[in-house]
């Protein structure tokens, strides 16, 4: 019996995970975020209304229990503003927060900016939400956790040391330390009071829920290629973004992860630095960006666009050993006569069919493409109707495109998304 499903981005995030999480969590009991923080931007569209989340699991709009587990870094100001937002939208969030998740403070955001400037060429183009600096404090064990926040005397005993090292760091980077530390401390004690009713030891909570037969969805944030270990370092994020991060980020054994579903996009997009071999710097790239509204949910930055890259997707498939794939945004490619799919890289005249991982090598690679005919563009309502009719109603060119990807990646594409709305999807195989 399938009790747990993980939804994992295969590339650089923004693959459309929110929509599949929403669909899968309809028949689940609990949805869990296990890494990252409010650098994420998950969008779900219901009846043409767009809901955006950065920190809360998107399953909140399915009225499921939502868990922010230990692997996540929490900006309490963002957490409370998202709770407020979702309540004003008429939902009643059933939130549980891990006692061991780490806390983002305002100076983390500032340090994020300073570090980005300092790195120059090697800047990742972060979201400047303080994610990396907070994880740095976690690793150096200066970090403050949710448990500390709800016990002001413990928080107090750790606070001065954290402030001291971060102040010195800011000054050493030529920054200005203009933080009212007393006021921040007081404000976070208040946040602690507000957080307390939600706090649990989530490793116990989640394992007990599984013992009782509950179904859990793990909601990945960012994408596999942004992973701190297996992504394109240093142009990624600071957490373990592929399925390998679930156990560390929740306290659930890898043996309890039943199914892993990878989300791929019909093309490539990314924000931030680093080489992108299939990147388009032409009208087609602009067209995809506009048709796909490819602007960051968190920062509003225009996303870099490229053709689908089967070389790096194959790498993501190897890492995650997906049971199934979901492909999104196929409708966005409508109207492009000839589509290109990168099937190999070429470096110094040699063909590579494995992703070189190192950014310095990827920088030297050019894509080798196969070409396929595209499909017509259709109005949104027309795509919705097509989705209701099922897979065989899709244009033949689109089915060929899907099946070519499927054959190359050797993973079944079980979910197909051809529009932003909840119902604009085709399910080819049952999920649970």
Residue corresponding to tokens 């790239």: 285
Question: 10 Å Cβ neighbour count for 1?
Answer: 6
CA angle (63 as vertex; 58, 68 as ends), nearest 5:
50
| C-beta closer to ligand IMP: residue 11 or 99 | 11
Nearest approach in angstroms of CB 276 to ligand IMP is: 11
Q: Which of 14, 75, 137, 323 is catalytic?
A: 14
Q: Which of 42, 54, 108, 230 is catalytic?
A: 42
β-strands 268-270, 304-306 pairing: antiparallel
Of all residues in the shown chain, the one whose CB is closest to ligand IMP is 272
CA distances from 394 to 334, 336, 341, 386, 397 (A): 12, 16, 19, 7, 8
| C-beta closer to ligand IMP: residue 219 or 331 | 219
CA distances from 321 to 257, 288, 412 (A): 12, 29, 12
Nearest approach in angstroms of CB 277 to ligand IMP is: 16
308 within 8 A of 265, measured Cβ to Cβ: yes
3-state secondary structure of 225: helix
Nearest approach in angstroms of CB 122 to ligand IMP is: 12
Q: What is the CA radius of gyration of the chain?
A: 22
Nearest approach in angstroms of CB 196 to ligand IMP is: 28
| C-beta closer to ligand IMP: residue 1 or 121 | 121
Give CA–CA dist 92/386, Å, rounded: 33
Catalytic-residue membership of 14: yes
Buried b (16+ CB within 10 A) or exposed e, 320-342: bebbbbbbbbbbbbbebeebbbb
Residue corresponding to tokens 């490539």: 268
208 within 8 A of 180, measured Cβ to Cβ: no
> ω before 234 within 30° of 0 (cis)?
yes
Give CA–CA dist 383/280, Å, rounded: 26
β-strands 259-265, 65-68 pairing: unpaired
Q: Which two tokens stand for residue 371?
A: 């070409």
Give CA–CA dist 192/76, Å, rounded: 9
Q: Which two tokens stand for residue 175?
A: 């920054």
| C-beta closer to ligand IMP: residue 103 or 209 | 103
| C-beta closer to ligand IMP: residue 295 or 369 | 295
CA distances from 121 to 20, 172, 391 (A): 35, 20, 45
Nearest approach in angstroms of CB 257 to ligand IMP is: 22
Nearest approach in angstroms of CB 124 to ligand IMP is: 4
Give CA–CA dist 58/363, Å, rounded: 35
Backbone angles phi, psi at 156, to 5 degrees: -55, -45
| C-beta closer to ligand IMP: residue 55 or 330 | 55
| C-beta closer to ligand IMP: residue 245 or 334 | 245
Of the candidates 274, 225, 234, the one whose C-alpha atom is nearest the C-alpha of residue 15 is: 225
Site for ligand IMP, rule CB under 6 A: 12-14, 39-41, 124-127, 129, 131-132, 221-222, 226, 235-238, 271-272
Catalytic-residue membership of 201: no
| C-beta closer to ligand IMP: residue 58 or 222 | 222
Give CA–CA dist 377/206, Å, rounded: 44
Nearest approach in angstroms of CB 42 to ligand IMP is: 8
Nearest approach in angstroms of CB 226 to ligand IMP is: 5
Catalytic residue set: 14, 42
């Amino acid at each position: 019996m399938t009790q747990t499903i993980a939804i994992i981005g295969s590339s650089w995030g923004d693959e459309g995970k929110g929509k599949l999480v929403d669909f899968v969590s309809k028949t689940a009991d609990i949805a869990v975020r296990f890494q990252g923080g409010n650098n994420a931007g998950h969008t779900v569209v219901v009846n043409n209304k767009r809901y955006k989340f950065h920190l809360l699991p998107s399953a909140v709009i399915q009225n499921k229990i939502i868990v922010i587990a230990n692997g996540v870094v929490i900006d309490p100001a963002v957490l409370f503003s998202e709770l407020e937002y979702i309540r004003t939208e008429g939902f009643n969030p059933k939130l549980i927060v891990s006692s061991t998740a780490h806390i983002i403070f305002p100076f983390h955001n500032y340090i994020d900016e300073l570090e980005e400037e300092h790195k120059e060429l090697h800047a990742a183009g972060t979201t400047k939400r303080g994610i990396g600096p907070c994880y740095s404090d976690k690793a150096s064990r200066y970090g403050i956790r949710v448990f500390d926040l709800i016990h002001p005397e413990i928080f107090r005993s750790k606070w001065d040391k954290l402030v001291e090292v971060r102040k010195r760091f800011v000054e050493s980077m030529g920054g200005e330390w203009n933080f009212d530390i007393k006021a921040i401390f007081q404000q976070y004690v208040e946040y602690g009071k507000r957080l307390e009713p939600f706090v649990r030891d989530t490793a116990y909570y989640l394992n007990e829920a599984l013992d009782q037969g509950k179904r859990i969805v793990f909601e990945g944030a960012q994408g596999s290629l942004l992973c701190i270990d297996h992504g394109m370092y240093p142009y990624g994020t600071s957490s373990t973004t592929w399925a390998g991060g679930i156990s560390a980020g929740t306290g659930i054994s890898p043996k309890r992860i039943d199914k892993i579903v990878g989300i791929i996009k019909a093309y490539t997009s990314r924000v931030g630095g680093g080489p992108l071999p299939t990147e388009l710097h032409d009208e087609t790239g602009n067209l995809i960006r506009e048709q796909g509204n490819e602007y960051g949910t968190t920062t509003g930055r225009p996303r870099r666009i490229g053709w689908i890259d089967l070389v790096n997707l194959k790498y993501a498939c190897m890492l995650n050993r997906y049971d199934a794939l979901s492909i999104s945004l196929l409708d966005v490619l409508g109207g492009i006569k000839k589509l290109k799919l990168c099937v190999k890289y070429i470096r110094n005249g040699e063909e590579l069919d494995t992703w070189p991982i190192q950014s310095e090598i990827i920088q030297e690679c050019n894509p080798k493409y196969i070409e396929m005919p595209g499909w017509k563009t259709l109005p949104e309502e027309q795509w919705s109707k097509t989705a209701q009719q099922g897979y065989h109603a899709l244009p033949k060119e689109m089915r060929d495109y899907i099946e070519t990807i499927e054959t190359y990646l050797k993973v079944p594409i079980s979910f197909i998304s051809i529009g932003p709305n909840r119902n604009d999807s085709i399910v080819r195989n049952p999920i649970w």
